[in-house]
Amino acid sequence: MIPVSYQGGKHRLAGQIVDHIQYTGGQMYDVCCGTGAISIEMINRGAKPENITMIDLGPWGEVWRRVGDGSFSMRRFCHFIEQIPPDKRLIKDWAANIAEQPVAPSDVPYLYLLLQAASFGSKAIWVKDGRWQHHGFRNYWTPTATSKYRYPINPMHPMPGTIYARMEEVCRRMYGVWGLCVDATTAYYAPHSCIYIDPPYQNMTGYGHTLFLQDILAQTPTCRVYVSEQEALGTDAIQLIGRKTKGGVSGKATHARQEWLSFFNAATQARGSKNRKGGRKWER
- Alpha-carbon distance values, 200 to 25, 47, 55, 228 (Å): 27, 26, 14, 9
pTM of the entire predicted model: 0.86
Predicted pLDDT of residue 284: 41
Question: What is the structure's pLDDT at 150?
Answer: 82
Q: Where along the chain do the CATH 3.40.50.150 domains lie? A: 14-68+176-283
Q: Give the separation between CA 245 and CA 27, rounded to whole angstroms.
A: 36
4 to each of 134, 159, 166, 192, 267, how far by Cα in Å?
Answer: 16, 9, 9, 32, 37
Q: Is the dihedral of CA 62, 133, 199, 6 positive or negative?
A: positive
Query: Tell me, what amino acid is at 88?
Result: K
Query: Given 3-state DSSP classes, what are the helix, strand and coil percentages for the chain, each rounded to the nearest 5?
Result: 35, 20, 45
Going by C-beta distance under 8 Å and a sequence separation of 6 or more, which residues neighbour residue 193? 26, 27, 28, 29, 220, 223, 224
Q: Tell me the β-bridge partners of 137.
A: 119
Predicted local confidence at residue 215, as pLDDT: 83
Positions of the chain with pLDDT under 50 = 205-206, 244, 246-251, 253-254, 271-278, 282-284
pLDDT for position 20: 93
Question: What is the predicted pLDDT for the residue at 267?
Answer: 59
Say what the pLDDT of residue 214 is. 80
pLDDT tens-digit readout, 191-217: 999 999 998 766 554 455 556 778 888
DSSP code of 181?
A: -
Q: State residue 262's pLDDT score.
A: 93
Could you name the CATH architecture of 14-68+176-283?
Answer: 3-Layer(aba) Sandwich (3.40)
203 dihedral zone (left: phi>0; alpha: psi -120 to 50; beta): left
Give the integer Cα–Cα distance in Å for 161 and 2. Answer: 14
